Amino acid sequence: MLLQLNEDVVSHIISYLSIRDSLNLSVAARGIHLVARQHAYSVVEIDDLTPTGDQVYQFCLHMLDDIPGRLHWLRGLTIAFRHPNRTSVATLDNFRCTLQRLANLIECAEGTLQSLSLTPIEVLVELEPQIFTAIRNVRYLRKLELDSIGTRALGLVRQLRSRPRTLILHAEDRGTISTALLLNSIGDMSNLRTFSVCDSLVGRRNAIPVVPFSGGVWPGVDNLTVISYWGISKSTCVRAFPGIRTLQLWVYREEPEPQAIVDDACWSYLDCLQVFPFSFRYWNIICPTHFVSIESILGFSLRFTPASSRDAVDASDKVDAKLIVHSTSPVALNLGTVADLEFTPRLWMDLVAVAPRLRCLQLELQLMREGRDALPELIAVLHQILPIISQLKNLYHIELCINSAVVNNFSVLPDRKLVSPTRFSLGPDSTKLRVAEKLAGALIEHLPSVHWLSVGFGFRGQMFQDRRFDPFHGTFWWWNVENDGKERKLHPMSTFTGERIRGYLCSPEYDYRTDPLASSLIEFAVSVRYPVSLHNQIQAR
């Protein structure tokens, strides 16, 4: 059957396979051998944990052994050396051999390679300068990611022969590279559309020399990520990137104090903002924003806080969240908070007063208890906050995400040490569905304006440890609300349909004044195929 399909269809199906599965498929049938082989070698990711880079060495030998049949198909290459050993002479020599082979591979792929990611780039160019030259000479890079940049690798970007559309630069964690230095290094890149910058995340005062920004402007960039400890001012980024529509922000500084920072510059409008809450103490972005995602579990530190200090934690998180929502007035909001009977209702009392435009809400609740007490407390919290959320008269869609992953990973003993507790679980999907239906019933009971809803159970990734902004992952059930004139009832939907309706309802293109809220919306949203999640919308822009 597979051999009878159109080649483009076969290629799309094979694109979901891993490299190993693609190679196995390539030897199973002559008719799809070339397509499967091409996919297997087109995008390669290697996370090498060996001290000498043995995995990368073997890969390079394999690819260089058949340049027309293997290396010719290489389009994307991601290589991370996690534990390079530079203390032993023998292992250092072997590691240098690996880097020489890697440089040779990049040189031979200079006319075909379109995406390249290397970690840690400073170590690589220090031990093998040919790596620097090979990357510089690649002609058609569309995406370049360089992690752990130091002083040696800093000049590489400015000398690139390629003009990438996506550029991701991360400085060494214990280096002396500031955000301004990284910005100064990118030079004249008129094709640049997506830019991500992360400076040296050190906690040493005066460790990074003050370097002024050179004043470059990149008007084509519409997607910006700033992860900065020593920081660059908001006004500098507004001047350098005036066309930003999507912003991901993690900013922290030891000095000056947040109260001393005055910066009125801002963009006129943002489509998407993902932000860690404390960042607004340094970058107060005052402009209407369609989608805002607060990348933290508000009130989470209450789990580790003595009762005498709870008020300070409570106030800090509430102030940060209220400032973000008030300053941006979002239409779609992703917000995570602990399921706490005291903190969560007080938080929402502050938020509903400053969110008049809110139409879509992704509400993540972090369970604070384990075992039998978790679910009753969750339901009690919902009955506390849903009457408050019902004041949002324009709220059409709500997605309730129940997060038990942090509880699964941490617990606290009396001596304040973290240990692994007994895992909390709702059991199989059939049990989760019954719980989800009960929670969905509570949602439509308290929220008369909601027409579409979903309930899911899962977890959120470790967001900042890997310098990522991760969405919530889990199992979801979807419903639309039908009203027969007597009562509101839940009508189940498939995940496929629900995700696309959510994508359309929460998109800037949706107009609540003219677009339907009835069954015709299902047909329209499915046919248009909007991005299935708010985070995917960010990546698609």
The answer as to whether 147 is a domain residue is no
Given a contact cutoff of 8 angstroms between Cβ atoms, the answer to whether 274 and 541 are in contact is: no
Distance CA 61, CA 368 (A): 51
Question: Which candidate, 46, 61, 184, places its Cα nearest to that of 116?
Answer: 46
Tell me, yes or no, whether 122 lies in a domain. no
How much is the pTM? 0.83
Contact 290, 313 (CB under 8 A): no
What kind and span of H or E run contains 335? strand 332-338
Report the relative pairing of strands 332-338 and 360-366 from DSSP bridges: parallel
Q: Does a structural domain hold residue 526?
A: yes
**DSSP structure string for 197-217:** EE------TT-S---------
Going from the C-alpha of 301 to that of each of 21, 86, 311, 414, the distances in angstroms are: 44, 39, 11, 16
Amino acid (1-letter code) at residue 251 = V
Q: Per the domain annotation, does 181 fall within a domain?
A: no
Does any domain span residue 324?
yes
Q: Are 540 and 508 in contact (CB under 8 A)?
A: no
Answer yes or no: is 36 within a domain: no
User: Tens place of pLDDT for every residue, the chain, 541 residues?
Assistant: 565 666 666 666 666 666 677 767 666 766 676 677 777 788 899 999 888 899 999 999 999 998 888 888 899 999 999 877 666 777 888 999 999 999 999 999 999 999 999 999 999 999 999 999 999 999 999 999 999 988 888 889 889 999 999 999 988 876 677 787 888 888 778 889 999 988 866 544 455 556 667 778 899 999 999 988 766 788 888 989 999 999 999 887 655 444 445 567 889 889 999 998 888 888 888 999 999 999 888 887 766 666 666 666 667 888 889 999 999 999 999 999 988 888 899 999 999 999 999 999 999 998 876 656 678 888 899 999 999 999 999 999 999 999 876 444 433 333 333 333 334 455 566 778 888 999 999 999 999 999 999 999 887 754 444 445 677 888 899 999 988 778 889 999 888 888 888 888 888 877 766 655 544 566 665 565 555 555 454 444 4
**Residue 524 belongs to some domain of the structure:** yes
Q: Which 3 state secondary structure label does DSSP give 281?
A: helix
Domains of the chain: total = 1
Range of the domain at 478: 288-541
- Does residue 365 lie in a domain region? yes
